[in-house]
């Protein structure tokens, strides 16, 4: 599918292409949420056509010395392809790494504060920290080897998940809660925005990790709600109501969690 | 200590402050290498004075809603303090997250390609990937819980280290080797630079992770040398000879590996 969110911006954009695995939210979701929040059209290549994933594989998972269009190799998806933004101004730019893509898109999609200074680095700092939590949650079901089955590392997963739930998740949630408090006045209210006075990709990225944690660890996250009321209450609900995101989250483009980063194994949740 | 590397640049710089744990290279080393390669002075706060670490703790490890100088909270060190770069142009800017600090410094220290476009995103893409490997190597000795002793997770560490050595390290090294090959002509020779025609923080960051891996897994890395000759041969040696880095690496400012990210436990190396 080629997404057609409501258009907020009149600025002309290239036809951005998100290159990611099909059928799962995964790390691609952070990029999708940015486009959807900005109301800027993009092609979700692997989900857009039957042979879309072969394009992703060719560009992002080849073993050669180039990704595509004269760009360097990509370690793994997601990547972003931007037609017309290559070195010669004609061919395409291909960049990889989720936080790198978000930083690139931040200014172009209007998802960072207007000032050229502190704001965009504070947005990136918060987003990178959310992505660190995303990785730690992934490791709760794959603590030993990413290419092996969960069942083959379940004993270690039980231990890892306990530590992540008991020590890591509260440390991260405390940081996000305090960042919201810091920004309360500038953000225009309790639990409104993490950085500045409008939605940024810090908000969408933290929101996605919270939403994923609620799917993976529903009991744990419910039990934490009183401790982090702005983050898990007002902020979590506010982001869902943002124009662009509201429509997206109820659309078919929003893929269900399944066998990606966020998985619901009841035995890994709080007992 | 306050570092005094040779000065390459005539541009006036603020007195940058690196806020990190004392006594270990750790994630702070990526920032140190950038300053040293650029020949720009910085204060390594925790190592500069006896009470330096209390400043780091106050700014980066407090439980409040501000780091310092009107900046948002920091999740954990490293952070960078830049006097005079705050919102009002007077107070200081405080930013955290290693890749965020590197991106901020990249242009200011002359460690990214001159072009405003593709080059700096490709540098960040490579650096982020090296930092991912850094994290995976950390997890070889702490696969279950970062706050527990290695001895309490040694059984799991043996399994994790085997997977990282056998499947992850070669995947990362292949990516860096291919990136070097891609850039061979532009870089001015075999194994010269990862992006563009001069040293960038992609080179310093990948180099540090390689050096750390050679310390942690000497047998594994020696056995891989033939497979990745440009990376583990020419590139690894070339970076050490860069002006600024050469002097730094033989100075007392270069801290030995000990109980940080890179640790040498012979049982975790190739047997």
| Each residue's pLDDT tens digit, A141-153 | 999 999 999 999 9
Position A10 scores a pLDDT of 59
* Residue B155 · residue B162 · CB < 8 Å: no
DSSP 8-state assignment for residue A167 = I
Provide the terminal-to-terminal Cα distance of chain B, rounded to the nearest Å.
40
Give CA–CA dist B210/A269, Å, rounded.
37
Q: Cβ contact (<8 Å) for B100 and A128?
A: yes
What integer pLDDT is reported at residue A213 of this predicted model? Answer: 98
Determine contact, residues A253/A32, Cβ cutoff 8 Å: yes
Q: CB contact, 8 Å: A152 with chain B?
A: no
The confidence score (pLDDT) of residue B5 equals 52
Order of strands across the sheet that contains B79-82: B42-44, B16-19, B79-82, B93-96
The confidence score (pLDDT) of residue B10 equals: 59
Q: How many CA atoms lie within 13 A of B64 on its CB side?
A: 11
Q: What is the pLDDT of residue A34?
A: 98
Predicted confidence (pLDDT) per residue in A228-268, tens digit: 999 999 999 999 999 999 999 999 999 999 989 999 999 99
Q: What was the pLDDT predicted at A88?
A: 76
Report yes or no: A158 at the B interface, CB cutoff 8 Å.
Answer: no
Cα nearest neighbour of A157 on chain B: B144
CA distance B11 to B21: 29
Q: How confident is the model at residue B1 (pLDDT cuts 50, 70, 90)?
A: very low
Q: Give residue A90's pLDDT.
A: 78
Report the residue of A71, A105, A178 to disrupt the B interface, i.e. the one with the largest count of B CBs within 10 Å: A178
Taking a contact as any Cβ pair under 8 Å apart, which residues of chain B between 98 and 137 contact chain A?
99-100, 103-104, 115, 117-118, 121-122, 124-126, 128-129, 132, 135
Which pair of tokens denotes residue B34? 């950038």
pLDDT mean over B31-51: 97
Question: Quick one: pLDDT band at residue A11, thresholds 50, 70, 90?
Answer: confident
Instruction: Collect all residues with Cβ–Cβ distance below 8 Å to B155 and sequence separation of at least 6.
Output: none
Q: What is the mean pLDDT of chain B?
A: 95
Q: Assign 3-state DSSP to chain A and report helix, strand, coil percentages, each to 5.
A: 50, 5, 45
Query: Cβ of B139 and A139 within 8 Å?
Result: yes
Q: Let me know: does A98 contact A27? Beta carbons within 8 Å.
A: yes
Please report the ipTM that was assigned to this predicted complex: 0.95
d(CA A214, CA B233): 47
Quote the tokens at residue B156. Answer: 């799991």
Query: Which residue, among A222, A214, A225, has the nearest Cα to A264 in the 3D structure?
Result: A214
Does residue A139 belong to the interface with chain B, where contact is any CB pair within 8 Å? Answer: yes
Q: What are phi and psi of A257, to 5 degrees?
A: -65, 145
DSSP for residue A2: B
For residues B79 and A10, the model is more confident at: B79
Q: What is the pLDDT of residues B95-132, one digit of tens each?
A: 999 999 999 999 999 999 987 779 999 999 999 999 99
Residue B46 structure tokens: 């925790």
pLDDT band with cut points at 50, 70 and 90 for residue A1: very low
Percentage of chain A beyond pLDDT 70 is: 96
Residues from chain A contacting residue B95 (CB–CB below 8 Å): 118, 121-122, 125
Cite the DSSP H helix spans in chain B: 28-38, 45-48, 52-60, 98-108, 118-141, 154-163, 169-182, 184-187, 201-216, 218-224, 229, 236-241, 245-249
pLDDT at A117: 78
Q: B144 vs A159: CB contact, 8 Å cut-off? A: yes
- Considering only the beta carbons, identify the residue of B100, B117, B125 that sits closest to A96: B125
Domains of chain B: 16-108 (3.40.30.10), 118-241 (1.20.1050.10)
Q: Is the pLDDT of residue B207 over 50?
A: yes
Strand order in the sheet with A93-96: A42-44, A16-19, A79-82, A93-96
Phi and psi torsions of B207, nearest 5°: -60, -45
- Please give the Cα distance from B207 to B193 (Å, whole number): 11
pLDDT greater than 50 at residue A7:
no
Q: Which of A126, A144, A182 sits opposite B163 (nearest CB)?
A: A144
- Average pLDDT (B216-231) is 98
Residue B30: CB atoms within 10 Å: 24
Give the residue-averaged pLDDT of A104-127: 94
Beta bridge partners of B80: B18, B95
Residues 1-60 of A with CB under 8 A from B: none
Mean pLDDT estimate for chain A: 95
């Amino acid at each position: 599918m080629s997404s057609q969110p409501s258009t907020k911006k009149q600025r002309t954009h290239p036809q951005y292409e998100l290159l990611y695995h099909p059928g799962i939210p995964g790390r691609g979701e952070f990029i999708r949420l940015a486009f959807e929040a900005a109301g800027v059209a993009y092609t979700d290549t692997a989900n857009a056509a039957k042979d879309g994933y072969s394009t992703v594989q060719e560009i992002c998972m080849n073993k050669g010395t180039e990704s595509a269009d004269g760009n360097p190799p990509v370690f793994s998806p997601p990547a972003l392809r931007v037609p017309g933004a290559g070195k010669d101004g004609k061919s395409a730019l291909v960049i990889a790494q989720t936080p790198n893509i978000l930083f690139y898109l931040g200014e172009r999609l209007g998802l960072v504060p207007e000032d050229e200074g502190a704001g965009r680095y504070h947005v990136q700092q918060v987003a990178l920290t959310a992505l660190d939590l995303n990785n730690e949650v992934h490791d709760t079901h794959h603590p030993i080897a990413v290419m092996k089955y969960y069942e083959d590392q379940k004993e270690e997963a039980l231990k890892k998940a306990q530590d992540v739930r008991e020590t890591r998740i509260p440390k991260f949630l405390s940081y996000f809660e305090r960042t919201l408090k810091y920004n309360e006045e500038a953000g225009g209210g309790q639990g409104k925005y993490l950085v500045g006075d409008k939605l940024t990709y810090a908000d969408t990225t933290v929101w996605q990790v919270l939403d994923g944690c609620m799917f993976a660890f529903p009991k744990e996250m419910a039990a934490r709600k009183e401790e982090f009321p702005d983050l898990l209450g007002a902020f979590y609900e506010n982001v869902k109501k943002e124009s662009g995101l509201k429509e997206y989250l109820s659309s078919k483009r929003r893929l269900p969690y399944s066998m990606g980063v966020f998985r619901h194994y009841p035995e890994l949740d709080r007992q």
